[in-house]
Structure 1
Amino acid sequence: MTTTAPLPDAAPANWVDRYAPAWSRPWLRLGRFDRPTGIWLLMLPGWQGIALAGAMAGRAPDWKLLVEFFVGAALMRAAGCAYNDIVDRDFDAKVARTAGRPIPAGQIKVWQAWAFVALCCLISLGVLLTMGPLAIGLGAGSLALVAAYPFMKRITWWPQAWLGLTFNWGALLGFAAATGVIEAPALLLYAGGIFWTLGYDTIYAIQDLEDDALAGVKSSARRLGAGAPRAVAMFYAVAVALALAAAWTADLSLFFTPGLALYATLLWLQARRVKIDQPRLALVLFKSNTWAGLILFVGLAAGAGRV
């Protein structure tokens, strides 16, 4: 199989293009392993749910669950990306940023991509079955959100909101895996994550404004236009308020507040810097959400302490 240049939204020195055997690169690109930001953004809500559950019990997050959620997030994100590429292969061929993906570029056939999706889902199912009944049910329920997501950009200007529902499902799943129940703090954390994703994926969509318009693809960035930076600031403000509400209803200690303050600061800086006519900056700001989500996780874990 021929070697191709790194995709536009992958780091030029990413590990796939530097170290992976040539035959494996299209498969790793299909699962977006050359762009690990998405793995983190899918995993971190689950880690946050686990940390919240632990903090409410006055203990550290369950490290075994953290490992399981890392593996599950990597595999399910890979499956979701491959599924998305199968559905969107005709659109992707028309967009400069996505035309080089393995399916539209002809490196992987559609039936092979389906096999890749099935394998990732089967391994993830094995991880899920180690958890309790409620967590298993929630994990199975997330498939409906994943299956519907690629079609949202065809029927609504707000596919980023649906991505928020999907990517942050792990907050409920992580809490349920740790406790066996769903309580109000977990629901508030999930709601906050939805607005967080709505903000950062609106920033991400700025990269494709012109191509999306030509291809007829809808997005919050297109709908908001010049008002996107102001809207991102509003989305992020709601995300921070809901994270605070989750911590308050969970009766976390004041040790949570430095993490929340830093999380809010990073989101504010993103909203302040984002520009509708600077797609490269949009990608940089989008990737910084890995740190924002990790900081919130640490803050929630620290909330287990007592002043």
Structure 2
Amino acid sequence: MTTILPDAAPTNWVDRYAPPPLRPWLKLGRFDRPAGIWLLMLPGWMGVAMACAMQGKAPDLWLFLLIFLGAALMRAAGCAYNDIVDRDIDAKVARTAMRPLASGQISVKQAWAFIVGCSLVGLVILLSMNLWAIGLGVASLGLVAAYPFMKRITWWPQAWLGLTFNWGMLLGFAAVAGGLSWGPVLVYAGLVFWTLGYDTIYAIQDIEDDALVGVKSSTRRLGANLRKGVLAFYVLCFLLVMAGAWVGGMGPLFLPPAALLAVHLSRQAAKVDADDGVGALALFKSNSIAGLLLVIAFAAGAWKPIGGF
């Protein structure tokens, strides 16, 4: 039997320190669960670091800050939108039953106001970037809007999440380079498989409830092949990221952090256990380290003594 976990650790900062009236709002935006902010932000940082490396310079720290703020706000808006769509399902799932919308702490109208507020501030941040980045930011809204419905129509909603969560790779690159090329597109494709892997692991926590309420997931679809599936996703991720780095002309210092990434992802795949919800959550959270390794790799790739590896 899979261990049922709470939606956030009982020691999270919101429950410990935030004033009680603010807690439902912070939980609506998942600020009590910051791993999602990291996983949305880090692809954007990768894009900035890769584009800067291709120009032979260090990452733009101002863009890093803007992407961090934008990721935190848009992840909050996206989670609130997801909760509006899924409020009836969330009420039937042990891990999500106490979310603010599912439990009635916040109304649907209030949640929409929260989304509008976060989105307007996010728009101000986006408008400070170039036209390519603005266009890509607007285009991402279609992916965000469709995501909550994917679990109802396909066994692979995690793949759609990958398309959505890693869009920042393209946006971050374009914000520096003023356009796109094959290098960042290949890396983006690799990151889609990265998310497909880590969110398949994450969905282990809900596998029993998902079956009861009829929600589809890659975790349920893979069944007994779960560990092999996650390993295959991570192998494809690594190969595509390496291909993108090669096309982008990254220097040889890209390779040591990339090697650590390969070890990290392979260890994750080896530890996957469909009956261990606690372990699944820990493996999922460790992907912040995986993403940070790639940011470091692209930043280090700026050093090119012989024009690339």
**Length-normalised TM-score, structure 2:** 0.96
Tell me the CA shift for residue 93 of structure 1. Answer: 0.4
How do residues 49-128 of structure 1 correspond to structure 2 at under 5 angstroms?
49-128=47-126
Deviation at 1:151, TM superposition (A): 0.2
2-structure distance, mates of 1:69, 1:97:
30
Question: Which stretches in structure 1 are left out of the alignment for 5+ residues?
Answer: 1-6
What are the equivalent positions in structure 2 for 1:282-301 lying under 5 Å apart? 282-301=280-299
- Do structure 1's residue 163 and structure 2's residue 161 form an aligned pair? yes
- The aligned counterpart of 2:192 is 194
Runs of 4+ in 1 over 6 A off after TM superposition: none
Deviation at 1:9, TM superposition (A): 3.4
- The answer to whether the 8 A contact 1:9-1:283 is kept is no
Matches for 1:172-187 after TM superposition, within 5 Å: 172-187=170-185
Match of 2:261 in 1: 263
1:225 aligns with one of 219, 223, 226? 223
C-alpha distance after superposition, 1:160-186 (max 9, x if no partner): 000000000000000000110101111
**1:208-223 to 2 correspondences below 5 Å:** 208-223=206-221
Q: CA deviation at 1:14?
A: 1.3
CA apart distance, 1:11: 2.4
Cα distance in 1, alignment partners of residues 241 and 185 from structure 2: 10
* Other-structure match for 2:21: 23
- Aligned mates of 1:189, 1:65 — CA distance in 2: 19
Q: Secondary structure at the match of 1:246?
A: helix
Q: Which residue of 2 aligns with 1:254?
A: 252
* Partner residue, 1:14: 12
Q: Measure the CA separation in 2 of the matches of 1:147 and 1:233.
A: 29
Deviation at 1:226, TM superposition (A): 1.4
**Cα distance in 2 between the residues matched to 1:256 and 1:9:** 36
Equivalent pairs counted in the alignment come to: 301
Q: Spell out, residue by residue over 1:90-136, the C-alpha distance to the aligned partner (whole angstroms, 9 max, x if none).
A: 00000000001000111000100000001000000000000111110
Answer whether contact 1:103 1:110 (CA < 8 A) is retained: yes
Long gaps (5+) in structure 2: none
Cα displacement string for residues 19-78 of structure 1 (whole angstroms, at most 9, x for unaligned residues): 110000000000000000000000000000000001101101111100000000000000
- CA–CA distance in structure 2, aligned partners of residues 302 and 19 of structure 1: 38
- SS at 1:88's partner residue? helix
Q: Which amino acid aligns with 2:106?
A: I
Distance in 1, matches of 2:182 and 2:8, equals 38
**Residue identity opposite 2:269 in structure 1:** A
1:100 is paired with a residue whose SS is: coil
Please state whether the residue corresponding to 2:15 is helix, strand or coil. Answer: helix
Query: Distance in 2 between the 1:55 and 1:9 partners?
Result: 38
> Equivalent pairs: percent with the same residue?
65
Larger RCO (alpha carbons 8 Å, 6+ apart): 2
Aligned-partner Cα distance in 1 for 2:271–2:217: 20
TM (norm. structure 1) is 0.97
* One-letter amino acid of the structure 2 residue matched with residue 144 of structure 1: G
Could you say what secondary structure the match of 1:13 adopts? coil
Question: What CA distance in whole angstroms lies between the structure 2 residues aligned with 1:55 and 1:14?
Answer: 36
**Secondary structure, in 3 states, of the residue corresponding to 2:232?**
helix
Report the equivalent of 1:302.
300
Q: Is it true that 1:138 corresponds to 2:136 in the alignment?
A: yes
Displacement of 1:306 in angstroms is: 2.5
SS class of match (2:123): helix
Stretch moving more, 13-22 or 150-159: 13-22
1:237 is paired with a residue of what secondary structure?
helix
Query: Quick one: distance in 2 between partners of 1:91 and 1:9?
Result: 14
Rounded Cα–Cα distance in structure 2 between residues aligned with 1:297 and 1:240 = 14
Alignment partner, residue 3 of structure 1: none
